[in-house]
Structure formats: C-alpha cells, structure tokens
Structure 1
Amino acid sequence: MSFLCPLCHAPLQAQDKHYRCPQGHQFDQAKEGYVNLLPVQHKRSRDPGDSSEMMQARRAFLDAGHYQPLRDRITALLKTHLPQPAQALLDIGCGEGYYTHAFAEVICSRGGEAFGLDVAKVAIRYAAKRYRNATFCVASSHRLPFADALFDAVVRIYAPCKAQELARVVKSGGWTITATPGPRHLVQLKGLIYDEVKLHEPGKEQLDGFTLVESISLGYEMQLAGSEAVALLQMTPFAWRARPEVWEQLAAAEAFSCETDFCISLWRRD
C-alpha cells in the first residue's frame, strides 16, 4: 500500500528511495525510513508540532510507563474489534511512536499494516528510527494522504482531525478510537500554574458518519520523581504558562503525585 500525493491526490508509487506520482511530484524517503508529505504551503510555521526538547521529554516520560494503562486499554479494544484478517491501521498524531508500535503488533498479527502520522518532523524521525513494525510519515491530520475507505481502524490520542477526513479513510463498519482529557486530568499539575484551576469539560464530540458505541473513563494516580514531573510539564500545552519557580519546585521535588483522567471513545463507521 502506498500514500496519496498531498499536492494532486494521485497515488504515490515507491521507487527506490522516493515516492513519485504520475504528475511528477516526488517525495524522498529519509534514511530513517519515513517520508515527508507536508509541503511548505501546508505548513502554518517553519517547524510545526513539538520541538526536539518536547519529544525527548515525552519519550522519557512514556518509556517510564506512566501512560501504559491508556495504551493497554486502547490495544485491548483493537484486539476485540479489529477483523481477522485486517488491512490497515492509522495512528494520527503518533508523536514518537510509543502507542503506534503497540497498535502495530495487533494489526500485523492479522496480516495488516500500521501507519503513524504526525505534523512534527522531529517526532516522526524519532519514531521511524526506533520502531520498524510501522510506516511513518510527516503529514497534516487535516489532509490525510491516504485513499478512501482504507483503514480498519484509526486511533486519535489528543490529536485534531476533521470528522470528514476520518469518515473518508475509515472503511464502512470500521473503527475510530479517540482519547481526550477527562475533567480531572493533571489537576495537581495545573494547580501549580493557575490561580484558579478549571476542570476539563466532558467531551461532547460528535463524529459525522460514525456511531458512538462505547465511552470509557480511565483514571489513576501517578507517583512521579521530580525529573519525571518536569518531563510531564514539558509535554503539556500549558508548559509555557509555568513560571520559573514552578519548574524549579518540580525539579527539586523528591515525589509528585498527580491524577490522570482519560476519556476513551469507540466509534463505528456507519
């Protein structure tokens, strides 16, 4: 299976170390094995997505297993609902591949392929270099470079994506699994940053073309070392609001207790 050209939407053919469409648009494969399908005209900034420092913090935190229960729960849903055999799975906003490679084990065991997509080039480079059981690309989640009705399942953890694009690429009867923050997610960390902590509003997402089959709440308490708390803060969207003394307080802490609260939704394509 190949990609679609992000410029003309024609199929890309793999040729040696690059991908090429009938219109002559060419995209080189990096030495790590990924392909960059994010043309400059589709970028909102020079280097969109997370920085190298954020990726390193995310990898250290995830490798320590703090979000493994989330990965395990989604993997279990895939094992239950993916068909046998299966064709393909996509992880949107895959970051450095921590979740993707676990999902890939499920789809590959059923004869299919796994793909990871992220707008951050540095994240995809990390992922492709480390995990070989999935194919990774730099691309926009709002312009998925894949054919219609290709995927048996799409996973979207915190990542944005237009509902129309999800409906386009997921097979009839296929699945989309989303994970979003629950009301109390990281509330203790937010308490160090904001004078008034506002809880996340419960998810009210509607995906046109899909039926919500199951909603799952997953929450537990993490016991973090100071360095792990710093890494967690660095990988959150409210890191830029943290004052210097907050970073120093976390770095000096022997232990930091923090809640997780995830909302996992299972959607079936109509």
Structure 2
Amino acid sequence: MSYQCPLCHLSLSLTDRTYRCDNNHSFDLAKEGYVNLMPVQHKRSKDPGDNKEMMQARRRFLDHDYYAPLRERVAKLCSEKDQSAQPTILDIGCGEGYYTAYIAETTQAQVYGLDISKAMIKHAAKRYREVDFTVASSQRLPFSDNTLSTIVRIYAPCQHDELYRTLKEQGIIITVTPAARHLYQLRELIYSDVRLHDEQPEIIEGFELESDEKLSYPMHLSGSDAYDLLQMTPFAWKATPELVNNLKASETFICETDFSVRVYRKTK
C-alpha cells in the first residue's frame, strides 16, 4: 500500500526517494524518512500543530511511561480486533510516535503515523524507523479508499467521512478520549468549578460501537513531570506564573488518569 496524492488523489509511487503520481505531482522523502503531504494551500498557518516547547514537554513526559498502560491496551486492541489478513494501521495525530512505535513493535501490521506538526513528525521519523510517518491533515487523509484495516485516534480530531472512506470492510476505529475524572487534580488547580468530562460515546455514521471500556489509575509525578503534563494540555494557557512555580516545586503531585477506550467497526 502507498500514499494518495493530496492534490489530485491519484496513487503515489516511490522511486529514488520521491513519491510521484501520474499527474507528476511529487513529494520527496526527508532525510529522516518521512514524507510531507501537506500542500501549502491546505495549511491554515505557516507551521500548524504543537509548537517546539509543547513537543519537548510531551516527549519528556511520555518517555517516563506514565501512559504506558494506555499504550499497551491500545496495541492489544489492535491485535485482538483487527480481522484483516494483512493489517494496515494508521495512528492519526501521532505526535512524536510514542503509541505508534509500540503498535508497530507488538503487532504484525504495516503501521503509519500521521500528524499536522512537521516538528513532531520529524522527531518521530528520526527515532522510530519501523513506522512510515507523514505530515498531513486528519481532515484529508492521504490514503486510497478501503485500504486501512485500523485507525487509532487518541484525542485526534478528524472527518468521519474520511474514516469511512479509507477503512476496509469490517475495519475498526480505536478512539481514546478523556473520561469523567481525567487529570482532575491538575484541572482543580486552574478552575474553581471543575466539570467532569462528558462520557457519552461518539456516534460515527457507518460504524457500530463494539466495545466501550475505561482505563483509570493514579500517577505519582515529580514537580518537573507535573509541569510537563501541564504543558501538554490546553490548561497551560490558563495557568498563572504562581501556579506553574508551585507545581514545579512540588515533591510529588498525584494526579488521576481516566480514559475512555472504544472500538467502532465499519458496518456497511
């Protein structure tokens, strides 16, 4: 399987480190091994996605494996639920590749990672050579119709019709979203009235909800790790300098994880 041209939607073929379609649109492989399939006319900003500081905080935090139980559960679901003879898995919004690389290591699938952030993909491709990484938009997936067997979405936005278009018959979507008390103690520092996350399952047309589970556990974080966690979230924009300093100085910060993990299967 190969990529689809983001300009004319024809298949891309790789020759001498260049992807090219029959209309002669071409996209070179970067030295790190990824391909940029985000044409400038599809960008809403010069450098979309997470900035460098957010990327570095996310990388540091994930490298401590606080989210390893989630990573392991998602990878296991990929193995258990994907019924394809030759599994092809796409991780949408893959970031620096923490989940993507583990899926590639623990399954027999061809694994792709996609993110809108060039900085994230550049780092991921350099670190995890076993995955095919691309800079692209989740709103316009650069894959042909009915070619993917599993799509993983960990907090990633997307177009439902793109999920339906690219997944094979009986293909699956694995979604991870915040459950009610996810990061409650962190949000408690910022908001006077903390609202629990909505746990209502997403309705995805053309798919049925096959399984719905929660994964919850406490994290015992150092002050620096708690700060990195804050930087990974939208809450960082609302944090005062005093809050940030207190968080960094804390010896131990205990914070709950609470994930909703769901599997949807294509039905028609």
TM-score normalised by L of structure 2 = 0.97
2:134 corresponds to which of 137, 145, 148 = 137
For residues 235 and 22 of structure 2, the distance between their equivalents in structure 1, rounded to whole angstroms, comes to: 44
Counterpart-to-counterpart distance in 1, 2:41 and 2:106: 35
Please say if 1:195 is aligned against 2:192: yes
**Structure 2 equivalent of residue 27 of structure 1:** 27
| Distance in 2 separating the partners of 1:8 and 1:85 | 30
How far has the Cα of 1:79 moved from its partner? Answer: 1.8
1:22-72 deviations in whole A, cap 9, x for unaligned?
Answer: 112111111000000111111111111111111111111111010011111
Distance 1:41 1:194 in 2: 38
| SS at structure 1 position matched to 2:163 | helix
The answer to whether the 8 A contact 2:87-2:150 is kept is no
Indicate which of 221, 227, 230 corresponds to 2:227: 230
The separation in 2 between residues aligned to 1:132 and 1:249, in whole angstroms, is 39
- Name the counterpart of 1:167: 164
Query: Pick from 172, 175, 179: which aligns with 2:176?
Result: 179
User: Which residue of the partner structure matches residue 89 of structure 2?
Assistant: 89
Q: What's the offset of the Cα at 1:151?
A: 1.0
Percent identity at matched positions?
54
Q: 1:84, CA displacement in angstroms?
A: 6.1
Match of 1:154 among 151, 156, 177: 151
Cα distance between partner residues in 1 of 2:255 and 2:87:
39
Which amino acid counterpart does residue 174 of structure 1 have in structure 2? G
Distance 2:106 2:20 in 1: 30
Q: Is the 8 A contact 1:180 1:203 kept in 2?
A: no
Distance 1:25 1:87 in 2: 28
The whole-number CA distance in structure 1 between the counterparts of 2:69 and 2:189 is: 25
In structure 2, C-alpha distance between the alignment counterparts of 1:207 and 1:82, rounded to whole Å? 18
SS of 2:58 mapped into structure 1: helix
1:193-224 deviation per Cα after TM superposition (whole angstroms, max 9, x unaligned)? 11221111113310111110110111111000
**d(CA) in 2 for partners of 1:225, 1:35:** 37
Take 2:242 and 2:18, find their aligned partners in 1: how far apart are those partners? Answer: 48
TM-score, with length taken from structure 1: 0.96
- Structure 2 counterpart of 1:61: 61
**Per-residue deviation, 1:174:** 1.4
Q: 2: CA distance between counterparts of 1:40 and 1:59? A: 27
- Runs of at least 4 residues off by over 6 Å: none
* Alignment partner, residue 246 of structure 2: 249
Conserved in 2, the CA contact under 8 Å of 1:78 and 1:106? no
